[in-house]
């Protein structure tokens, strides 16, 4: 389920040289003063953008709380900021994810749901796979009655290049267990998502 990192990782020097090649290819002079540090900045940025390859998302969910045996309603973490990169053009995908599950016996610290989103986002992705990976991991580790993930995101490969359609967003969802099989549960989730934002509580 997790994508292993490329077995032979190029060195930092090779990565920086690749940036110089791209600069030259774009028509620039990498020796120009303003660009001298750019290859190392780009390499550092890549370490941050793609740190998800070094994270095992399943491990993030290992610590659970089982004392919550009388909570049998939906847990929803909504509006999780999502920053990823499109694997086709290597440009940003920016959006938000909503993650819900119906606990069977264990609940997880809510920050861990956001960490799972981050672990898969910080890789080269397409939105459909990103959505499925997050849902499948939560479902297989927590074994809840159901898991749902909905992602809304803008793709810079569509907004800043190519077809140039600013303002367009892509919506994907993956519903598992009761969210897939029980229309009442799915409707309840969608009504929770449609409630007005509660930003006064999120400061």
Ligand X SMILES: Nc1nc2c(ncn2[C@@H]2O[C@H](COP(=O)(O)OP(=O)(O)OP(=O)(O)O)[C@@H](O)[C@H]2O)c(=O)[nH]1
Instruction: Give me the least distance between CB of 46 and ligand X, in Å please.
Output: 19
With beta carbons less than 8 A apart as the criterion, state whether 120 and 134 touch: yes
Residue 128 binds to ligand X (criterion: CB under 6 A): yes
Residue 155 binds to ligand X (criterion: CB under 6 A): yes
Active site residue 86: yes
Active-site position among 127, 128, 156, 200? 127
The reply to whether 157 sits in an annotated binding site is yes
Burial track 120-129 (b if 16+ CB lie within 10 A, e otherwise): bbbbbbebee
Helix (H, G, I), strand (E, B) or coil at 23: helix
Cβ neighbours of residue 25 closer than 8 Å, sequence gap 6 or more: none
Active site residue 164: no
Residue 82 binds to ligand X (criterion: CB under 6 A): no
Distance CA 165, CA 57 (A): 33
The reply to whether 85 sits in an annotated binding site is no
Stretch that binds ligand X, among 2-10, 19-27, 133-141, 158-166 (CB under 6 A): 158-166
Name the residue nearer to ligand X (CB basis): 98 or 112.
98
Q: Percentage helix, strand, coil, to 5, in the chain?
A: 45, 25, 35
Active site residue 118: no
Active site residue 87: yes
Q: What totals of helices (H) and strands (E) does the chain contain, helices first?
A: 8, 7
Residue 86 binds to ligand X (criterion: CB under 6 A): yes
Residue 9 binds to ligand X (criterion: CB under 6 A): no
The reply to whether 89 sits in an annotated binding site is yes
Residue 127 binds to ligand X (criterion: CB under 6 A): yes
Distances (CA, A) of 1 to 4, 58, 139, 185: 9, 10, 12, 27
DSSP string covering 127-189:
HHHHHHHHHHHHHHHH--SEEEEEEEEEEHHHHSSTT--TT--EEEEEEEEHHHH-HHHHHHH
Active-site position among 86, 98, 125, 133? 86
Residue 91 binds to ligand X (criterion: CB under 6 A): no
Name the residue nearer to ligand X (CB basis): 126 or 192.
126
Binding-site ranges for ligand X (CB under 6 A): 86, 88, 126-128, 155, 157-158, 162-163
Active site residue ranges = 86-89, 127, 155, 157
Q: Which residues are annotated as a binding site for Zn(2+)?
A: 86, 89, 157
């Amino acid at each position: 389920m997790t994508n292993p990192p490329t077995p032979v990782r190029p060195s930092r020097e090779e990565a920086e040289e690749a940036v110089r090649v791209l600069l030259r290819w774009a028509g620039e002079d990498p020796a120009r003063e303003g660009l001298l540090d750019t290859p190392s900045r780009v390499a550092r940025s890549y370490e941050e953008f793609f740190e998800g390859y070094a994270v095992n998302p399943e491990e993030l969910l290992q610590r659970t709380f089982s004392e919550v045996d009388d909570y049998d309603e939906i847990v929803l973490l909504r509006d999780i900021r999502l920053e990823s990169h499109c694997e086709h053009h290597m440009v940003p995908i920016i959006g938000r994810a909503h993650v819900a599950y119906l606990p069977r016996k264990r609940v997880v610290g809510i920050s861990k749901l956001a960490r799972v989103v981050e672990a898969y986002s910080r890789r080269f992705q397409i939105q459909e796979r990103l959505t499925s990976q997050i849902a499948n991991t939560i479902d297989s580790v927590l074994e809840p009655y159901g898991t749902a993930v909905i992602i809304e995101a803008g793709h810079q490969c569509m907004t800043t290049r190519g077809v140039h359609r600013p303002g367009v967003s892509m919506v994907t969802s993956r519903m598992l267990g009761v969210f897939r099989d029980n229309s009442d549960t799915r409707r309840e989730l969608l009504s929770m998502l449609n409630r007005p934002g509660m930003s006064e509580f999120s400061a």
